Amino acid sequence: MKVYLDHSATTYVDKDVLEGMLPYFTDVFGNGSSQHFYGREALKAIDEARDKVAKALNCKSTEIYFTSGGSESDNMAIKGYALAHKDKGNHIITSKIEHPAVLESCRKLEKMGFEVTYLDVDNEGFVDPKAVEAAITDKTILITIMLANNEIGTIEPIKEIAQIAKAHHIAIHTDAVQAIGNIPVDVQDLGVDMLALSGHKFYGPKGIGVLYKKNGVKIERFLDGGEQERNLRASTLNTPGIVGIGYAIEKAVKDLDKNAKHMAEVRDYFVKKVQDSLEYIMYNGPKDSSKRLPGNSDFSFVGIEGEGILFHLDLAGIAVSSGSACSSGSLDPSHVLLAIGVPMAIAHGSIRFSFGKMNTKEEVDYTVDVLVKTVNQLRSMSPIYDELIGEYKKCIMKK
Ligand SMILES: *Cc1c(COP(=O)(O)O)cnc(C)c1O
């Protein structure tokens, strides 16, 4: 049996999305900027996709910019806004649990003379809107907080934070890469100025992303060259990718309720089964399912290494993630788990199981079987297991 439980790292492209894309690799190959028939045909498809994205997010088509992915959209929004407003102030507010695309953009800006406040989160990963307000100074120009966390699934109170930003005339950007297709994403309702998406996280292609930027919000041009994307991002438009993200977002929104309900059901079944089968584990992230992405679960297994668990699950055909895909390969435990107060040694033994719209309870049964055997076996060989149980108990008492 092969089980894919790493949908937060990436998803496959839906067959009908792929079919919609295929003509744009061959027959309709024109450059969307060309002034002949081939170009016009490509541009028509791009315009249609832009309309689909705008409709899905409840904004105007002129507020949609196509990029190469979620990382680029975050970079473009944060650096682009900061550079365009450096005369107004040099302070940015973000959180400690952002995706590296946001954190590293902020670090780069720090090197350029900006000041960044990295807000703490509580033990379920929530940013406190009051802490955002308290961090505001007369130099603050931008707030960037993610809509939903990629490791522990926390859905942040962006609407409230956006209201605070607005009251202080500060721009707000949100990384909604993990949110779309899992929870409603309506830019008017959220009240954000900029928002980032990535095609491959919701059954669309890789290498295509979206930046929503409210009309009137100024940012510096991200990629210098031609005048594509209203002169904010040069480079020939990726017609197949754009067509793909258009179809994918249309489906994601149409099937949102059905998919979210299914994922939450399978996820809840998995979480209960794990909790019933193993002791000395921590379920990281919100306990209240309504404040958590429906497909997300994240556990720390006291006394063992996440990499060891991942290796054994992989041998059994089960694909999961230890920490986040971006930091796997490094030996540092996840910055997100440390930020919610998981002790370093316990954070090392963490695995994210992220469910998709097609996972089944049969797959969960198989996964839990393998997982329980693996954890028990690794623990029986672990020299630090007994020692860490003490640490774990202290940690549970605190909560
Ligand atoms: C995956 C992800 C990104 C990066 O998107 P890419 O398209 O892979 O560059 C950014 N933010 C979050 C929260 C993500 O999960």
Structure tokens at 198: 């990535």
Mean pLDDT for the stretch of residues 161-188: 98
Q: Residue 131 burial (CB < 10 Å; 0-12/13-18/19+)?
A: middle
> Is residue 237 over pLDDT 80?
yes
Query: Residue 396 C-alpha to ligand 1 middle, in angstroms?
Result: 31
**326: annotated active-site residue:** yes
Q: Which of 198, 211, 238, 298 to mutate to test the pocket of ligand 1 (most atoms within 8 A of CB)?
A: 198
In tens, the pLDDT along 131-164 reads 999 999 999 999 999 999 999 999 999 999 999 9
Angle between helix 306-315 and helix 361-381 axes, rounded to 10 deg: 130
Taking only Cα atoms into account, the Rg of the chain, rounded to an integer number of angstroms, comes to 22
Whole-number Å distance between alpha carbons of 245 and 44? 15
Q: What percent of the chain has pLDDT over 70?
A: 97
**Can you give the pTM of this predicted structure?**
0.97
- The more confidently predicted of residues 331 and 140 is 140
In tens, the pLDDT along 312-327 reads 999 999 999 996 444 5
In tens, the pLDDT along 269-307 reads 999 999 999 999 999 999 999 999 999 999 999 999 999
pLDDT at position 329, please? Answer: 55
pLDDT at position 326, please? Answer: 47
Query: Residue 188 C-alpha to ligand 1 middle, in angstroms?
Result: 22
Q: CB under 8 Å to 111, separation ≥6 — which residues?
A: none
Q: Give 383-388 contacts, CB < 8 A, sequence gap 24+.
A: 384/303, 384/345, 385/302, 385/303, 385/304, 386/303, 388/302, 388/303, 388/345, 388/346
> Is residue 391 over pLDDT 90?
no
pLDDT at position 227, please? Answer: 95
pLDDT at position 324, please? Answer: 45
Q: Are strands 3-4 and 91-95 parallel, antiparallel or unpaired?
A: unpaired
Mean pLDDT for the stretch of residues 223-236: 96
Lowest mean pLDDT among 108-112, 331-335, 341-345: 331-335
pLDDT at position 177, please? Answer: 98
Q: Residue 27 burial (CB < 10 Å; 0-12/13-18/19+)?
A: exposed
Structural domains in the chain plus CATH codes: 3-9+256-398 (3.90.1150.10), 15-254 (3.40.640.10)
Atom of ligand 1 nearest to the CA of 70: 5
pLDDT at position 331, please? Answer: 67
In tens, the pLDDT along 86-105 reads 999 999 999 999 999 999 99
Residue nearest to atom 5 of ligand 1 (CA): 70
With cut-offs at 50, 70 and 90, classify the pLDDT of residue 387.
confident
> Is residue 213 over pLDDT 80?
yes
Query: Residue 260 C-alpha to ligand 1 middle, in angstroms?
Result: 20
pLDDT at position 325, please? Answer: 43
Q: Which of 68, 76, 178, 197 to mutate to test the pocket of ligand 1 (most atoms within 8 A of CB)?
A: 178
Residues contacting ligand 1 via CB (< 6 Å): 69-71, 99, 101, 146, 150, 175, 177-178, 198, 200-201, 209
In tens, the pLDDT along 39-49 reads 999 999 999 99
Residue nearest to atom 6 of ligand 1 (CA): 70
E-strand spans in the chain?
3-4, 64-67, 91-95, 115-119, 140-144, 171-175, 194-198, 209-213, 281-283, 296-301, 318-319, 350-354
Whole-number Å distance between alpha carbons of 138 and 158? 21
Per-position DSSP letters for 57-109, written without gaps between them:
HTS-GGGEEEESSHHHHHHHHHHHHHHHTTTT--EEEEETT--HHHHHHHHHH
CA distances from 51 to 58, 222, 252 (A): 10, 23, 15
pLDDT at position 337, please? Answer: 97
Q: Which of 99, 102, 145 to mutate to test the pocket of ligand 1 (most atoms within 8 A of CB)?
A: 99
pLDDT at position 388, please? Answer: 86
Mean per-residue pLDDT of the chain: 96
